[in-house]
Amino acid sequence: MDHDRPMPLLFLWEALDYQEAFKAEHGVYSGSFYELGKLGFVFDGSGSFNIQDPGIRPTEQDLRAWRPKNSDVRYEITLATADTFHIVALDADGRPTFEVRAGMRKPVALEGQATT
């Protein structure tokens, strides 16, 4: 994992890949982190984990929002349709810090956030 980049940026990059895979398989973007987890999406906020670790996969309760293990960031799927999706990273105070949308090549930092 690229530890020089902020964890929310890395999370959203992974989520982007899994959203595209989900759309290729189902014809729509997923509105559920749990559904992305069924495809293999896992994450740990520490950046290092064993694939068997508990808490690195979204559960059935993790639909539109998920706070991965060891993370102080919550992620929300704010939009998911056949044509588009939007996922935002929210800091501990609930402020959006990074986002990714369908069609982006990579997530973007929102105002005042460093990308490296």
Residue ranges of domains in the chain? 7-109
CA angle 48, 85, 115 (to 5 degrees): 45
Distance, in Å, from the CA atom of 25 to the CA atom of 11, rounded to the nearest integer, reads 21
| Per-residue pLDDT at 3 | 54
- Could you read off the pLDDT of 25-39 as tens digits, one per residue? 999 999 999 999 999
Alpha-carbon separation of residue 55 from 32, 51, 64, 66 (angstroms): 16, 10, 17, 11
- Could you read off the pLDDT of 32-85 as tens digits, one per residue? 999 999 998 887 666 666 677 777 788 899 899 999 888 899 999 999 999 999
| Per-residue pLDDT at 73 | 93
Distance, in Å, from the CA atom of 44 to the CA atom of 47, rounded to the nearest integer, reads 6
